[in-house]
Amino acid sequence: LGRAGLRKLNFSSGPAVLPEEVLRRAQEALWDLDGSGIGILEHSHRGKEFGRVLDRTEAAIREVGSIGDEFAVLFETAGATHHFALIPQNFLSRDATADYCHTGIWSGKAIDEAKRVGNVHVVCSGEANNFATTPTLCTYSPSPRYVHYTSNETIYGTQWASPPQGAPAPLICDASSDIFSRPLPLAGHGLIYAGAQKNLGPSGISLVIARRDFIASGNTDLSPLAQYRTYEAERSMHNTPNTFGVFVIGEVCRWILDNGGLAAMAERNARKAKLLYDALDASKVWRGHATPESRSLMNVTFRGTTKDLEEQLLARCESEGLSGLRGHRSVGGLRASIYNAFPEDGVRRLVTLMHEFER
């Protein structure tokens, strides 16, 4: 258990575990932001104190992701699902086509939203084998407006090892469940979006990293809050932003920098995931869902040989303070979400329990 023995090991898929240092700093800032005598929840978003928070959060995001000025960094008071709709509204039209990689439930939802606006061409699909594999062969349409993919499929536990190759249009990435877990692949991307509640901070806010020229190419006949250009022009302050969310994202990014940046995150995440995948590969009773080349380093999904065994392991985990391991209903079994802030020792605890059960 965590500090003071009070905190469980939180394997939740999101909202998810945050670094303890960040929680402590947030706790202090709730009471008194930067010695101002007013808490972060109470400060005006137009005041200089929050202005400094916004500045340092954007600066930290840019430093973490090595993001140049050709990209805008935006905060929206919305989850990733909101962007499923905003993206086609901004960049698609009735006669145009967008290409979508279909790797699971989240890409499916994004596709449904795009179909409301224009034509959708599915360039690859993992549906035939219950989304256990991320297809690498993409067949693009002749001139798509953009190519959308979900870098990490949170539910099935699959991940693109690298972005789709050879796209004939800007890539758009739903990076909700693996942003900042490894170096950010900006090349070829028009826009990357992520709901914050896994690797970045609290729910109710999303981060958008978008090329300024791509934003400028968007439709202009939408209400201001539905246009990415409004967030760019007004530094995400057209209306009151999620000020606390911006603060926490800034602290998380500072924690990433203090802990070696994205290269170090990637190394640690690979090590943590390997502990679990090695255990699955060596096991006769536990079996991973994702095929080896598509395995997610963030969400490890697995089944037991019987449902009873799965239930017993889940119950034992709960009783030992290992929480949030029940798999999504579409895959069943167990899912260990091991985002940046999840401790390596916690993964070892789970592996030890899996071994014990097998014996």
Ligand X SMILES: Cc1ncc(COP(=O)(O)O)c(C=O)c1O
Instruction: List the one residue from 58, 99, 174, 310 that touches ligand X (CB under 6 A).
Output: 174
CB 335 to ligand X: min, Å: 11
Closer CB to ligand X, residue 56 or residue 82? 82
| Contact status: 195 vs ligand X (CB under 6 A) | yes
Look up 160 and say whether it is catalytic.
no
CB 33 to ligand X: min, Å: 26
CB 158 to ligand X: min, Å: 11
| Contact status: 177 vs ligand X (CB under 6 A) | yes
Look up 115 and say whether it is catalytic.
no
Closer CB to ligand X, residue 163 or residue 195? 195
Residue nearest to ligand X (CB): 79
Closer CB to ligand X, residue 88 or residue 195? 195
Look up 112 and say whether it is catalytic.
no
Q: Is the backbone peptide bond immediately before 142 cis, with ω within 30 degrees of 0?
A: no
| Contact status: 176 vs ligand X (CB under 6 A) | yes
Closer CB to ligand X, residue 269 or residue 286? 269
| Contact status: 150 vs ligand X (CB under 6 A) | yes
Judged by CB under 6 A, the chain residues 21 through 80 that form the site for ligand X are 79-80
Selected catalytic residue, list 106, 160, 255, 286 = 106
Q: Tokens in use for 131?
A: 């989304």
CB 260 to ligand X: min, Å: 25
Q: How far apart are CA 205 and CA 230, in angstroms?
A: 16
CB 216 to ligand X: min, Å: 26
Q: How far apart are CA 216 and CA 91, in angstroms?
A: 10
Residue type at position 71: F
Instruction: List the one residue from 10, 89, 134, 154 that touches ligand X (CB under 6 A).
Output: 154
CB 14 to ligand X: min, Å: 5
| Contact status: 14 vs ligand X (CB under 6 A) | yes
Closer CB to ligand X, residue 286 or residue 294? 294
Q: Mask of contacts with ligand X, 84-123, x by CB under 6 A?
A: ----------------------x-----------------
| Non-local CB neighbours of 173 within 8 Å, separated by 6+ positions | 148, 149, 150, 151, 163, 189, 191, 192, 193
Q: Can you state the angle between helices 243-258 and 261-281, rounded to 10 degrees?
A: 80
Q: Tokens in use for 343?
A: 């401790």
Active-site amino acid positions: 106, 174, 198
Q: Which residues bind ligand X (CB under 6 A)?
A: 14, 79-81, 106, 150, 154, 174, 176-177, 195
